[in-house]
Chain A
Amino acid sequence: MAVRALGTYDFPPKEPREDFGTDLLVYTYFEGNSFFVAPAAWRVPPDMPWEAFRTQALDPWLGADPDYDPSALTNWRIDDVPFEPKEGATLDSLGIGWKSVVRFNH
């Protein structure tokens, strides 16, 4: 159903992808660990190597949990499709795209 309006109702989105340049917005969700109340959001370049993403984004975030064990993370998925993180691979070569939801658990 369309918005019921007096006239033509056609407005641009507030946050179009172009406004983020070539960067990606990526969401990460640690399933089964409710110590983190919600998924995290990151603005990252698509050619960022996985290792940099892990050490600059995931580790500092998840390290807030005193029981965090980086080696225990498993079952990696991008929007429910399984993938295997590789340290040297870039995010886009791993298949991580605009507003991908990267999921993992213990």
Chain B
Amino acid sequence: MKKLSMKQQYQVMTRDLDWEPTYVERDQIYPYLEFEGIKVHDWEAWEDPFRLTMASYYKYQAEKERRLYAVLESFEQNQSHLRLSDGRYVNNMKMFLSGLTPVEYAAHRQFAFLARHLGGPAPRFSAQLQSIDELRHAQTQLHTFNLYNKYYEGFDNYRHLFDRIWYLAVTKSYIEDAMTAGPFESLIALSFSLEYLLTNLLFVPYMSGANFNGDAATTTMGFSSQSDESRHMTLGLEVVKFLLEQDEANVPIIQEWVDKWFWRGYRVLAIVSVLMDYMLPRPFMSWKESFELYFEQQMLDGLFPDLEYYGLKPPRHVDIAIAEKDHYSHNVHWALYQWNYVTAFHTWTPSDEHLDWLSAQYPDTFDQHHRPKWEKAQRIADGGGRYYNPSVAPQCQVCVIPPVFTEPGDPTKLSIRISEYQGERYVLCSDGCQWIFEREPEKYIQAPMPTNQVYRGNYGGPTIPEVVAWFGIDEGVQNHDYLMSGDARSWDEWHAMGSLTGGK
């Protein structure tokens, strides 16, 4: 038989495998395609620039896996974790593992659903590949972080933590909101807003930060995923263009989803802002700078002028995100620091050098609004104490983050919004989340808020030790300040023993 070209192979092995049903109605096979109001007239117009077949996909992926696992093996054999910038660094990975790896796994499930239920063979096939990609990402992350689990606390219980801990309700709520939406909304949420608009802001800092802090394992794992992400980004852009071109009536629906999912994704990235500004012992780029580069320049100045042709405008509330960039990480990390007794990772009081770095990165705001708080915390530490906030806070009914954000334009005042629905009051953290809530209140009233659950006695009991145990945190092991941790003791002991560090 004559060998087919790549293009012919793609046609034969993907699109041509589809068939028209004869003895059941099409809408019985694809029941989810109508109710969101999206109109698709021609599924064949879907373009897939990658034109992969299953055979070529597995070949590429297997090669990536071989390279990654070779690096992981060498990382382990050489005890490379000892050459990290500092023992504090691994706390980033604890946050990633418990907060984002379960989201990768959930995305695998959602894309498997889309691979079954989208209306054309080409997008179904793209979704199928992405589903396998997401599963691979979850797996490679687990295998990479497993290298740390042998030596550091807080890596052994990620799935339980994801389902229970208050701050992980942020990413859990995000992905469950997407998975309970219709197929088209979930595509805009995951493929466009997360994989296109925000993915560089998520992945590049994590992996560059890993590289900058001596973590070759995570850097390689990240690059291995990143090559899939470029395919996902292309899918994300194709989804938006395809749906906008199919029918003019789709435009306002897509616009609202872009508005909603930009804001939802941006709030999840609060964790990345903390990583960049506070959690890397060797910081390399501020949240503000990366937001300007990867979002304002690449997306607002680069992408959205192109999308204007299709009638799509930049996301609603993007002005608030821009106004917040000077304060975002500082407010969020200040929360994690003062509630460190209920987290499954360590924080620490930033050193004077680190504060100087932050002052230089945020020259107009840090010294006035944020540095004094850290200096007071240092004063408490100097006296032998540790500043903890003994109260619990309400959470935003949409993003599940406590209202720690300040008013755009007034960094001395918290942004607190209250919405009423069916005679009940709900707390929201921002105009962005309030807009999302008021668009679909009947959805968000079903969400459990961690503080309310504690006060109902649903989280193991009424006292902090009971709640900490119910979260799955080993008191005194995974939580509290790094300086008091077993991780810190181990790190110091290992580095006092020359033989383990290769004679350093």
Would A37 and B334 count as touching, CB distance under 8 A?
A: yes
Count chain A residues whose beta carbon lies closer than 8 angstroms to a beta carbon of B. Answer: 42
Bound CA span A67–B449, Å: 31
Distance in Å: Cβ of A62 to nearest Cβ of chain B: 9
Partner of B404, one of A9, A16, A17, A37: A37
Return chain A residues, CB-CB under 8 Å to B414.
Answer: 29, 31, 38-39
Q: Is A88 an interface residue (CB 8 A)?
A: no
Distance in Å: Cβ of A4 to nearest Cβ of chain B: 5
Bound CA span A4–B427, Å: 24
Return chain B residues, CB-CB under 8 Å to A27.
Answer: 394, 427
Bound CA span A27–B446, Å: 21
Bound CA span A15–B459, Å: 14
Would A38 and B387 count as touching, CB distance under 8 A?
A: no
Return chain B residues, CB-CB under 8 Å to A65.
Answer: 376
Would A3 and B335 count as touching, CB distance under 8 A?
A: no
Contacts known (A1-B440, A27-B427); A34 close to B412, Cβ less than 8 A: yes
Q: Is A83 an interface residue (CB 8 A)?
A: no
Contacts known (A31-B413, A38-B403, A43-B455); A3 close to B427, Cβ less than 8 A: no
Q: Is B418 an interface residue (CB 8 A)?
A: yes
Would B376 and A35 count as touching, CB distance under 8 A?
A: yes
Partner of A4, one of B36, B369, B389, B451: B36
Interface of A is mostly: loop
Bound CA span A97–B380, Å: 36
Bound CA span A43–B394, Å: 11
Would B390 and A61 count as touching, CB distance under 8 A?
A: yes
Would B456 and A19 count as touching, CB distance under 8 A?
A: yes
| Contacts beyond the supplied A3-B440, A41-B394: 8 A-B pairs with Cβ under 8 Å | A4-B182, A14-B445, A15-B449, A25-B394, A34-B369, A34-B412, A36-B391, A37-B331
Q: Which residues of A contact B (CB under 8 A)?
A: 1-6, 9-17, 19-20, 25, 27, 29, 31-32, 34-43, 60-61, 64-67, 79, 98-99, 101
22 CB-based A-B contacts, threshold 8 Å: A3-B440, A5-B35, A11-B445, A13-B445, A13-B446, A16-B424, A17-B424, A25-B455, A27-B427, A36-B389, A37-B334, A37-B335, A37-B338, A37-B402, A37-B404, A38-B393, A38-B404, A40-B393, A41-B451, A42-B391, A61-B389, A66-B379
